[in-house]
């Protein structure tokens, strides 16, 4: 195995391990998705799924697309990203296009993310270019596998880890890290952070204000059986936490980092004897004109949210609004075993995972 000469990119994907409290540490990334993206491309290059000068296609509106664009530019691949009009702004589109990526923007007036339409466009692309490589971050097991590197760094710095807190979008970072840590510390508590109207843990999917976590489809990389405790954080408490994280720790992060830190900080304060690690995926520059703009926040319905934020304990899955923060003892159950959970595939009993 020969590694391509782009180790300079590893600085973006290597987290700093920061102490944020007496028993709370953060794995703080510049661009977390570069870690799985680089690993997936390495593996695809090794086994010939991606030939030199080949083409990559993916549906992404976020940092995974950015990571692919960086890699494609450095390694000399073509890249087509399918995205939705509701999910990208002009600055981000420019940032991707300057790296040579081609963007196909699907119209999405409803603001739902247009997952089904994006997948249809992607399949059409693959029909035209059958040799193109589709990384499939939601279902590619290499995504989760790549996070052993995060575990390596965290274990090297912290030794014993009792609790892992992280947001879930593809499931790769939280489940990939948790699986490794639990092999070494079987009593590890895994706390997942999702948001309302994401279907990952049983909400009916719908428009969401909070970006960077949650999903409208179920990725295979999400292993519900690994999760002990599940938090649904609405956009308002997440934005407020992101701003508080900036003020109190000097960390200018994206809202998924804020949501994860909100939960981790609360959990660590309630379990002072436990060593807690929280994953903070990326930086806040994309959100300069939204959650880092007071005027923008003031225009949100329900802003500012109640302080201090406290979660409401649930006994079953219940829908929530953007101002709510709820949690449920998940207990390693499958989605079908949790009362109140919405599932797309009710007509196919037992099918928890949309391929």
Partner 1 sequence: MPSPNDAIAGTSRPPLAVGTGTAMAHHGELLQGVFEGADGRLHRGLVTLPLPSLRARATFWPRRLGAIATRPARRSKAARAAALALAHLGFSGHGGELTLESEIPLGHGYGSSTADVIATLRAVAAAAGTSLRRATTARLAAAAEGASDAIAYGTQAVLFAQREGRMLELLGAELPPLVVVSLVSGQERAVDTLALAPARYDSGEIEFFRALRGLLRCAVERQDPWLLGRVATASARIGQRHLPKPRFEHALGLAREHGTCGLQVSHSGSLMGILLDGRGQDVAAQAAALVHEARRAGFGRAASFALGAEGVRLA
Restricting to residues 198-227, name those near partner 1 by CB under 8 A: none
Stretch that binds partner 1, among 20-28, 177-185, 208-216, 270-278 (CB under 8 A): 177-185
Shortest Å distance, C-beta 189 to partner 1: 17
Q: How far apart are CA 215 and CA 176, in angstroms?
A: 17
For partner 1, the closer of residues 1 and 90 by Cβ is 1
Residue with tokens 């193109």: 132
Residue with token string 């004897």: 273
Stretch that binds partner 1, among 82-90, 127-135, 176-184, 230-238 (CB under 8 A): 176-184
Report how many helices (DSSP H) and strands (DSSP E) the chain contains, helices first.
11, 11
Please tell me whether residue 3 binds partner 1 under the rule CB under 8 A: yes
Torsion sign across C-alpha atoms 246, 38, 59, 204: negative
* The binder of partner 1 chosen from 99, 103, 153, 351 (CB under 8 A): 153
Give CA separation, 286 vs 69, 142, 185, 266, 292, in Å.
16, 27, 36, 26, 10
Residues 39-98 that bind partner 1 (CB under 8 A): 43
Give min distance, CB of 153 to partner 1, in A. 6
Binder among 9, 40, 71, 154 for partner 1 (CB under 8 A):
154
Pairing of strands 163-167, 189-194: parallel
Q: Is 139 left (phi over 0), alpha (psi -120 to 50) or beta?
A: alpha
Residue found under tokens 């510390």: 185
What's the closest the beta carbon of residue 43 comes to partner 1, in angstroms?
8
Does 16 participate in binding partner 1 (rule CB under 8 A)?
A: no
Task: State yes or no: residue 149 binds partner 1 (CB under 8 A).
Answer: yes
- Which residue of 9, 35, 44, 180 would you call a contact of partner 1, by CB under 8 A? 180
178: left (phi over 0), alpha (psi -120 to 50) or beta: alpha
Residue pair 305/323 in contact (Cβ under 8 Å)? The answer is yes
Cα torsion angle, 187, 193, 194, 195, sign: positive
Check residue 155 for interaction with partner 1 (CB under 8 A): yes
- Binding of partner 1 by 193 (CB under 8 A): no
- Is 12 a binding residue for partner 1 by CB under 8 A? The answer is no
Which range in 22-30, 183-191, 215-223, 279-287 contacts partner 1 by CB under 8 A? 183-191
The nearest distance, CB 56 to partner 1, in angstroms, is 20
For position 11 contacting partner 1 by CB under 8 A, the verdict is no
Q: How far is the CB of 162 from partner 1 (least distance, A)?
A: 13
Please state, in angstroms and rounded to a whole number, the distance separating the CA atoms of residues 267 and 263: 6
* Of 151, 238, 241, 277, the one binding partner 1 by CB under 8 A: 151
**DSSP result, 162-205:** -EEEEE-SSSHHHHHHHHHHHHH-TT-EEEEEE-TT-TTTTPPP
Which of 239, 257, 259 is CA-nearest to residue 311?
Answer: 259
Task: With CB under 8 A as the rule, give the number of residues binding partner 1.
Answer: 25
Using CB under 8 A as the binding rule, whether residue 1 contacts partner 1 is answered as yes
Closest listed residue to residue 62, CA positions, set 286, 258, 239, 319: 286
Distance, CA of 211 to CA of 352 (rounded, Å): 24
* Interaction pattern, residues 97-136, with partner 1; x per rule: CB under 8 A: ----------------------------------------
- Contacting residues toward partner 1, per CB under 8 A: 1-3, 7, 43, 142, 145-146, 148-149, 151-160, 180-181, 183-185
């Amino acid at each position: 195995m020969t590694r391509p000469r782009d180790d300079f990119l590893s600085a973006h994907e290597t987290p700093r391990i920061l102490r944020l409290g007496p028993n709370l540490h953060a794995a703080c990334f510049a661009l977390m998705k570069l870690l799985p993206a680089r690993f997936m491309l390495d593996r695809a290059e090794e086994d010939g799924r991606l030939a030199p000068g080949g083409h990559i296609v993916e549906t992404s509106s976020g940092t995974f697309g950015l990571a692919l664009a960086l890699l494609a530019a450095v390694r000399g691949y073509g890249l087509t990203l399918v995205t939705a009009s509701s999910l990208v702004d002009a600055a981000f589109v420019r940032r991707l296009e300057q790296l040579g990526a081609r963007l196909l923007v699907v119209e999405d007036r409803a603001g739902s993310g247009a997952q089904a339409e994006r997948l249809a466009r992607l399949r059409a692309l693959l029909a035209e270019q059958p040799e193109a490589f589709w990384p499939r971050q939601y279902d590619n097991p290499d995504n989760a596998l790549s996070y052993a590197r995060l575990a390596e760094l965290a274990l090297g710095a912290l030794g014993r880890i009792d609790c892992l807190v992280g947001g879930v979008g593809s499931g790769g970072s939280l489940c990939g890290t948790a699986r490794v840590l639990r092999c070494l510390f079987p009593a590890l508590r895994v706390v997942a952070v999702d948001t309302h109207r994401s279907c990952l843990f049983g909400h009916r999917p719908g428009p969401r204000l909070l970006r960077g976590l949650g999903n409208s489809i179920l990725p295979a990389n999400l292993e519900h059986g690994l999760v002990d405790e599940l938090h649904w954080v609405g956009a308002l408490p997440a934005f407020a936490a992101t701003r508080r994280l900036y003020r109190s720790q000097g960390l200018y992060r994206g809202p998924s980092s804020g949501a994860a830190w909100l939960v981790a900080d609360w959990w660590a304060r309630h379990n002072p004897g436990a060593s807690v690690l929280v994953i903070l995926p990326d930086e806040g520059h994309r959100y300069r004109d939204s959650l880092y703009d007071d005027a923008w926040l003031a225009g949100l319905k329900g802003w500012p949210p109640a302080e201090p934020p406290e979660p409401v304990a649930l006994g079953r899955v219940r829908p929530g609004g953007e101002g709510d923060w709820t949690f449920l003892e998940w207990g390693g159950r499958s989605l079908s075993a949790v009362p109140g959970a919405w599932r797309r595939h009710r007509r196919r009993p037992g099918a928890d995972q949309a391929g």
